[in-house]
Amino acid sequence: MKFAVASLFAGLALKAAAAATTLDQLASSVDKTESIREIKDVTATFAQLAQFGRYAEMAALFASDGLLVWGNASAKGPDTIRQWLTRDAGDMNGIQPGSLDAIVIATPVVNLAPDGKTAKGRFNGLRFQGDGKGNTRMQGGIYENEYARVDGRWKISVLRYYALYEGNYADGWRNIGHENLGPPPPFHYTPDEAGTPVPLSTVTDKASGNTTDFRTLQYRIDKLNDEDEVRNLQHAYGYYVDRRMWNDVVDLFGNQSGTIEIDNVGHFEGPQRLRTALEQWMGPEGLGQGVLNEHLLFNTIVSIRSNVSLSINNTGIEKLADSRGLEIGLIGDAAKGTASWRFSIFRNTFAKSDGIWRMLNVSISPIMVANYSGGWSNGSMFPSPATISLDKPLFLDYSRDETGKAPMLDGVASLEELERRLNRSAAYDGVENVSNAYGYYMDFIDGKACADMAALHAQEGNKESPFAGFYQTPRRIREACTAAYGTGEITNRSGVSFHWRPQPVIHVSHDGRSANLRARLLQPATGKAAGSAQLRGGMYQDQMALEDGIWRLWSVTIDEFYWGVSSWKDGWSGVKPRAANASNPAPRDLIKQYPPDLLLTEMGDPRETGFQGGSGRYVAWPEIQRMWFGYQNPVSGRVPESYWPLCVPCQHRPEWKLSQHGWLEPPAGPPWI
Ligand SMILES: *[C@@H]1O[C@H](CO)[C@@H](O)[C@H](O)[C@H]1NC(C)=O
Ligand SMILES: *[C@@H]1O[C@H](CO)[C@@H](O)[C@H](O)[C@H]1NC(C)=O
Ligand SMILES: *[C@@H]1O[C@H](CO)[C@@H](O)[C@H](O)[C@H]1NC(C)=O
Ligand SMILES: *[C@@H]1O[C@H](CO)[C@@H](O)[C@H](O)[C@H]1NC(C)=O
Ligand SMILES: *[C@@H]1O[C@H](CO)[C@@H](O)[C@H](O)[C@H]1NC(C)=O
Ligand SMILES: *[C@@H]1O[C@H](CO)[C@@H](O)[C@H](O)[C@H]1NC(C)=O
Ligand SMILES: *[C@@H]1O[C@H](CO)[C@@H](O)[C@H](O)[C@H]1NC(C)=O
Ligand SMILES: *[C@@H]1O[C@H](CO)[C@@H](O)[C@H](O)[C@H]1NC(C)=O
Ligand SMILES: *[C@@H]1O[C@H](CO)[C@@H](O)[C@H](O)[C@H]1NC(C)=O
Ligand SMILES: *[C@@H]1O[C@H](CO)[C@@H](O)[C@H](O)[C@H]1NC(C)=O
Ligand SMILES: *[C@@H]1O[C@H](CO)[C@@H](O)[C@H](O)[C@H]1NC(C)=O
Ligand SMILES: *[C@@H]1O[C@H](CO)[C@@H](O)[C@H](O)[C@H]1NC(C)=O
C-alpha cells in the first residue's frame, strides 16, 4: 500500500502558507521530525546490538505482534524473533571468541504516514559474519521495513529483508541461488514522495503528550539542529581520516584538550598527542601511491545530552553530544601487496562552546582486524579475541522524551524563527531521503528506473553521467539514461552494481530551502557467476532544492572511482597499476549518441583532470586520484587543497547556479547557520 503523500502534503503546505503557524502545528511538526530520527535510530540500534549477540534486545525493538522476514525465513512476536535471531547466528554472534556479526543497515528513505502513527523505511543491508573457527558468511540485500508507534515509542512492526546476494568470505558473494535477479524489491514510495518533506500539521492533528509548551519546543528544535551539526562533524571526520588529512582531523577538536582512545593501543590527549594517535593507528599524513585508508561509517546514532549543566559547570562547554556506530576499515598498500579489514565500534563525544560544535573525545574499539587473504574466518589478529570487551563501548539512548527536561532558556525565539530552524532540520532528512532514492533507482537501472530517477530532479536541475558529462533538465537526464540503458523494463538481470550513498555531510541554507550534500558512493556489485563479487568507492558532490514543496536533486556530480577490487580474491591491493604509457579508455558511446550539455573534457583542468572521461592522463587505483571537497573544515574553516564549493558544473555553466533560480547558495564554510 502506498500513502497518498504527495497530494495530501501539497494541500497542507498551502494551508500552512495561508494561515500563520500555530504552536500546536509547530509541535506536531517537531514531533514528526523527531519520529523520522527515532525510526532511523531504532533501525541503527538493531544493527549495533547484533555485534554483541544481544538478540533479546534486538527482539525487544519489535512491536508485540512484530514480524521478521529474513529472505525465505520468518518469525512473529519478540520471543520467536529472539529465538530465530539466536539460532540463525549460531556461533557467528560476536560473543563466541573470534566471531563477528557486523550488520550494516544504511541509506534510509523513511516515509511517515500522514497521521504520524506508522512509517515505512527502505535501507541497504550488508552482514559480515564469522565464527572464528573457519566459517564465514556474507549477506547483502535491501530492507523494506514498517514501523509503528506504541505507547509513544517507535517500534519495528515488520523487518523485511530481501536477500539478494550471499556467500562465504573465501569465494565472495554472488546472487542468491546463483540465479538471475528479478525486479527490484518493491518500493514504498514514488519519486515525488521521496522528496516530500515533513508536513506542517493541522491543529486537530495534535502531537502526543503535552509538548506544546513553547520553551520545550524550542529546546527540542535546538536539539534537532545540534544533532545535524554533530552528525556532519562525525561524517566529515570520517572523510578526513580516509585521506589521512590529520591537520583537518586535529582542527575538528579546536584548541580544547581532546582525547583519542584506541582499545589495546593507548590513550592520547592534547593536539600533538592526537596526531601521534592517528599516525600510530593509521599512518603518516597524506596517502602515498597505492595506499588505502577507507573507513566507512555506518549505523551512526547521535544523541545530544540533556543534563549538561549538571556535569560541566565552569568549563565553558554549553552542550555535549555522543555518537556511536560501526566503522569498517579497508586498509592496504598495493605497492607492498598488503591488505586488511578493520572492524571497530566508535563512540565519540562532542562539545559545543561559543556556539561551535567540536570533537572532544574519540573512542575506537577494534573488534576484528584481519588480513585480506584469510579474512575473519579464524578470528581477529588484533586485539586478541579474549581481550575484546562485550560491555564496551556503551550503547546510546536515542529516546526523545524531553518531558520536564527543558532548562530555562536565555533567549526565546519567535514562532517564525523556530519554524525556520525546524525547517532546516526537516531539510536534513528530506535531502537524505532524495539522495538515497536516487541510489535505489540507479541499482536496478532500466527504462522505468531512468524515468523515476530523472523525476527526482528539479526542473532546471543537472546530473553527471559518468565518464561523459552533464545533462540539464529531467527530460535530458531521462533521455541520456535511456540512451545508455534502453527504454524497456528489465525483470531478469544477471548482476547489479549497487549505488549506496552513505555517510552524508549535509549543509542546509539559512532558509532551509536548499542544501549541499557530500556522500560516499559505495558500490558492492554482485552477479550470477562464481567470482562476481566486487567492491568499489567514489564520492558524490551534490546540491538539492525544495521546489514546489518537494525536495529535488539540483546538481549531481560523481567522482569515481577512487578505489576498487579487480576481483574479490585479489582484493584492493591486488589491482595492477595501469602502465604509465597506457592510452586513456575510449570515450563513452553516449557522448556521440546523446551529446551532453557540458562535457567533462570541457571542464578540463583542474576539476576533471585524471578522472575517466575527463582531461589529461586517466588516474586509476592503485594510483591516488585527487580528492575534491565542497566545503571548508567545519570547525577551523581551513580551505582544502582541492576545493570546489557548491554546484560542481556551475563554474562552467554559471546559469545553472541555484542562486540564478531563486534559491540561496548553501554555506560552504563556518558559520553553518
Ligand atoms: C532459504 O535461503 C537460504 C539462503 O539464504 C538457502 O540456503 C535455503 O536453502 C533456502 N531455504 C528454502 C527452504 O528455500
Ligand atoms: C503533562 O503530562 C503529564 C503526564 O501526562 C501530566 O502529569 C501533566 O499534568 C501535563 N502537564 C500539562 C501542563 O498539561
Ligand atoms: C587555536 O587557537 C589559535 C590561537 O588562538 C587560533 O589561531 C586557531 O585558529 C585555533 N584553532 C582552531 C582549530 O580553532
Ligand atoms: C546525563 O545523561 C547521560 C545520558 O545522556 C547519562 O549517561 C548520565 O548518567 C547523566 N548524568 C547525570 C549527572 O544525570
Ligand atoms: C552547576 O550550576 C548549577 C546552577 O548554576 C547548579 O545548580 C549545579 O549544582 C552546578 N553543578 C555542579 C556539578 O556544580
Ligand atoms: C573526555 O575524556 C576525558 C579523558 O578520558 C574524560 O576525563 C572526560 O570526562 C571526557 N569527557 C566527556 C564529556 O565525556
Ligand atoms: C598477514 O599478511 C601478511 C602479509 O601478507 C603476512 O606476513 C602475515 O603473516 C599475515 N598474518 C596473518 C595472521 O595471517
Ligand atoms: C584457519 O585455521 C585452520 C585451522 O588452523 C586452518 O586450516 C585454515 O587454513 C585457517 N584459515 C585461514 C583462512 O587462515
Ligand atoms: C517552513 O517550511 C514550510 C514548508 O515548506 C513553509 O511553508 C514555511 O514558510 C517555512 N517557514 C519558515 C519560517 O521559513
Ligand atoms: C522521505 O520520503 C517519504 C516518501 O517515501 C516521505 O513520506 C517522507 O516525508 C520523506 N521524508 C522527508 C524527511 O522528506
Ligand atoms: C531469466 O533468465 C534465465 C537465464 O538467463 C532464464 O533461464 C529464466 O527463464 C529467465 N526468467 C524469466 C522470468 O525471464
Ligand atoms: C608501453 O611501454 C612498453 C615498454 O615499456 C612497451 O612494451 C609498450 O608497447 C608500450 N605501450 C604503448 C601503448 O605504447
Which residue puts its alpha carbon closest to atom 14 of ligand 1? 72
CA-580 nearest atom, ligand 12: 1
469 sits in which H/E element:
strand 469-472
Q: Which residue type does 47 have?
A: A
Number of H helices, E strands in the chain: 14, 22
- C-alpha distances out from residue 278 to 293, 343, 374, Å: 12, 16, 26
Q: What is the 3-state secondary structure (H, E, C) of 490-515?
A: CCCECCEECCECCCCEEEECCCCCEE
Extended strands (E) in 307-401: 319-333, 338-353, 356-371
H helices of 522-646, in order, are 590-593, 600-603
Q: What is the 3-state secondary structure (H, E, C) of 613-630?
A: CCCCCCCCCCCCCCCCEC
What are residue 541's DSSP bridge partners?
518
Where does a domain end: 334, 367, 387? 387
Nearest ligand to the C-alpha atom of residue 636: 3
Nearest ligand to the C-alpha atom of residue 127: 1
Domain-embedded: residue 112: yes
Q: How many domains does the chain have?
A: 3
Domain-embedded: residue 13: no
- State the CB neighbour count (10 A cutoff) for residue 363: 21
Asked whether 140 and 166 are in contact (CB, 8 A), the reply is yes
What would the pLDDT profile of 499-534 be if each residue is shown by its tens digit? 999 999 999 999 999 999 999 999 999 999 999 999
Specify whether 34 is located in the same domain as 162.
Answer: yes
Q: Where is pLDDT greater, at 314 or 174?
A: 174
| Domain extent for 620 | 417-661
Domain-embedded: residue 50: yes
Domain-embedded: residue 174: yes
pLDDT of residue 124: 98
CA-423 nearest atom, ligand 9: 1
| Radius of gyration (C-alpha) of the chain in whole angstroms | 24
Share of the chain above pLDDT 90, in %: 82
Residue 13 has pLDDT above 70, yes or no: no
Instruction: Please give the distance, rounded to the nearest whole angstrom, from the Cα atom of residue 580 to the centre of ligand 12.
Output: 9
Q: How far apart are CA 504 and CA 487, in angstroms?
A: 31
Which residue puts its alpha carbon closest to atom 11 of ligand 4? 307
What would the pLDDT profile of 606-645 be if each residue is shown by its tens digit? 999 999 999 999 999 999 999 999 999 999 999 999 999 9
What would the pLDDT profile of 457-487 be if each residue is shown by its tens digit? 999 999 999 999 999 999 999 999 999 999 9
* Mean pLDDT (the chain, rounded): 92
Which residue puts its alpha carbon closest to atom 6 of ligand 3? 255
With a 6 Å cutoff on the Cβ, whether 320 touches ligand 6 is yes
Where does a domain end: 160, 188, 216? 216
Asked whether 401 and 204 are in contact (CB, 8 A), the reply is no
Specify whether 566 is located in the same domain as 425.
Answer: yes
* β-strands 259-262, 356-371 pairing: parallel
Instruction: Please give the distance, rounded to the nearest whole angstrom, from the Cα atom of residue 182 to the centre of ligand 11.
Output: 9
The b/e string for 615-647 (b: 16+ C-beta within 10 A; e otherwise) is beebbbbbbbbebbbbbbbbbbebebeeebbbb
Could you tell me the CATH number of the domain that includes residue 308? 3.10.450.50
Domain-embedded: residue 505: yes
Nearest ligand to the C-alpha atom of residue 578: 12
Instruction: Please give the distance, rounded to the nearest whole angstrom, from the Cα atom of residue 21 to the centre of ligand 1.
Output: 53
Specify whether 166 is located in the same domain as 246.
Answer: no
Q: How far apart are CA 596 and CA 592, in angstroms?
A: 9
Which residue puts its alpha carbon closest to atom 5 of ligand 3? 255
Q: Ligand 5, residues 309, 311, 315, 410: which to mutate, most atoms within 8 A of Cβ?
A: 309
Specify whether 358 is located in the same domain as 211.
Answer: no
With a 6 Å cutoff on the Cβ, whether 256 touches ligand 6 is no
Share of the chain above pLDDT 70, in %: 92
pLDDT of residue 193: 84
pLDDT of residue 348: 98
Specify whether 657 is located in the same domain as 606.
Answer: yes
CA-374 nearest atom, ligand 8: 13
Q: Predicted confidence band at 154 (pLDDT cuts at 50, 70, 90)?
A: very high
* β-strands 118-130, 356-371 pairing: unpaired
Q: Ligand 4, residues 307, 309, 400: which to mutate, most atoms within 8 A of Cβ?
A: 307
Specify whether 518 is located in the same domain as 432.
Answer: yes
Specify whether 203 is located in the same domain as 251.
Answer: no
Nearest ligand to the C-alpha atom of residue 72: 1
Instruction: Please give the distance, rounded to the nearest whole angstrom, from the Cα atom of residue 416 to the centre of ligand 9.
Output: 9
Specify whether 319 is located in the same domain as 176.
Answer: no
Which residue puts its alpha carbon closest to atom 1 of ligand 12? 581
Instruction: Please give the distance, rounded to the nearest whole angstrom, from the Cα atom of residue 425 to the centre of ligand 2.
Output: 27
Specify whether 336 is located in the same domain as 439.
Answer: no
Specify whether 186 is located in the same domain as 311.
Answer: no
Domain-embedded: residue 115: yes
Nearest ligand to the C-alpha atom of residue 248: 3
Specify whether 61 is located in the same domain as 98.
Answer: yes
Instruction: Please give the distance, rounded to the nearest whole angstrom, from the Cα atom of residue 416 to the centre of ligand 8.
Output: 64
Specify whether 532 is located in the same domain as 618.
Answer: yes
Q: Predicted confidence band at 11 (pLDDT cuts at 50, 70, 90)?
A: very low
Instruction: Please give the distance, rounded to the nearest whole angstrom, from the Cα atom of residue 445 to the centre of ligand 11.
Output: 18
What would the pLDDT profile of 268-318 be if each residue is shown by its tens digit? 998 899 999 999 999 999 999 999 999 999 999 999 998 666 556 667 888
With a 6 Å cutoff on the Cβ, whether 633 touches ligand 3 is no
Q: How far apart are CA 191 and CA 9, in angstroms?
A: 14
Where does a domain end: 216, 247, 271? 216
Domain-embedded: residue 9: no
Domain-embedded: residue 409: no
